């Protein structure tokens, strides 16, 4: 399967079929967010009495958790949980939440008329990579779990997947230029996993390159390699 949609378009409008092939992706995404998602989420909320909870003057942690559960149950988003090293290394334990599509995320935040800012692009690029990876795994019937990894002293890897052939780690940067400092998390993870780890960097530049044992790819090239079966098997 080919990944043919340019990543800049995917970051701005996402990957829903009518957002890709339609003549007015902004109108489609606004309608999708305002009607379909609104109806689905409201219907799910009614079964949980969220309306009563929302009227509380103070929003508790449990209330917020309920909101996220509704988004997961309606397939609007998903959690990515931290991967736990078996060694006694201190790690951050909070899960990350991603929406299922970049275009929907931008519609919900009312950012569709504008190109993604640098601040937006980091989260959007991670969202794109995670969603394409989940789609690839589902399409090929690979029941691997996706995680991230982070230590309390700031070392982080955006995506980590244990496969039958070892671990695959991916660091995602919404930069046009790849720099050595972006390798810090991968290098720290390598100390723990050794030769069982394959490392990739994904960025918005134009050149493929190798930094030691890390293969750095433009995002479009990475996604094509993913769908070609070169990343996760």
The ranges assigned to domains in the chain are 7-227
Work out whether the CA dihedral 215, 165, 222, 2 comes out positive or negative. Answer: positive
Structure tokens at 163: 């496969």
Report strand pairing: 209-211 vs 214-218. antiparallel
Using a CB cutoff of 8 Å and minimum separation of 24, what contacts does 70-75 make? 70/41, 70/44, 70/45, 71/41, 71/97, 71/99, 73/44, 74/37, 74/40, 74/41, 74/44, 75/100
pLDDT of residue 34: 84
Work out whether the CA dihedral 168, 171, 172, 175 comes out positive or negative. Answer: negative
pLDDT of residue 143: 96
Tens place of pLDDT per residue across the chain (233 aa): 555 566 888 999 999 998 989 999 999 999 988 887 777 776 665 555 555 545 554 556 676 677 778 788 888 899 999 998 765 556 677 889 999 999 999 998 899 999 999 889 999 999 999 999 999 999 999 999 999 999 888 889 999 999 999 999 999 999 999 999 999 999 999 999 999 999 999 999 999 999 999 999 999 999 999 999 999 99
Phi, psi values for residue 211, rounded to 5°: -115, 95
Of the CA atoms within 13 Å of residue 28, those in its CB half-sphere come to 14
Tell me the C-alpha distance between 134 and 113, whole Å. Answer: 28
pLDDT of residue 184: 95
């Amino acid at each position: 399967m080919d990944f043919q949609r340019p990543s800049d378009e995917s970051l701005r409008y996402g990957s829903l079929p009518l957002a890709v092939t339609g003549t007015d992706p902004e109108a489609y995404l606004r309608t999708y967010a305002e009607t379909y998602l609104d109806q689905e989420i409201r219907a799910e909320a009614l079964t949980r009495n969220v309306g009563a909870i929302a009227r509380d003057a103070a929003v508790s942690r449990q209330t917020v958790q309920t909101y996220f559960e509704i988004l997961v149950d309606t397939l609007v988003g998903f959690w990515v949980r931290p991967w736990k090293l078996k060694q006694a290394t201190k790690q951050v334990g909070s899960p990350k939440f991603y929406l299922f599509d970049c275009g929907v995320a931008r519609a919900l935040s009312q950012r569709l008329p504008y190109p993604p800012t640098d601040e937006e692009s980091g989260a959007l690029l991670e969202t794109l990579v995670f969603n394409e990876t989940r789609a690839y795994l589902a399409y090929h019937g690979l029941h691997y779990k996706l995680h991230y990894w982070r230590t309390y002293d700031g070392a982080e890897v955006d995506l980590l997947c244990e496969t039958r052939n070892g671990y695959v780690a991916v660091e995602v940067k919404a930069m046009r230029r790849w720099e050595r400092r972006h390798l810090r998390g991968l290098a720290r993870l390598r100390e723990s996993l050794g030769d069982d780890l394959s490392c990739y960097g994904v960025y918005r530049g134009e050149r493929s390159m190798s930094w030691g044992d890390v293969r750095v790819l433009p995002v479009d090239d990475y996604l094509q390699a993913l769908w070609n079966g070169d990343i996760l098997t």
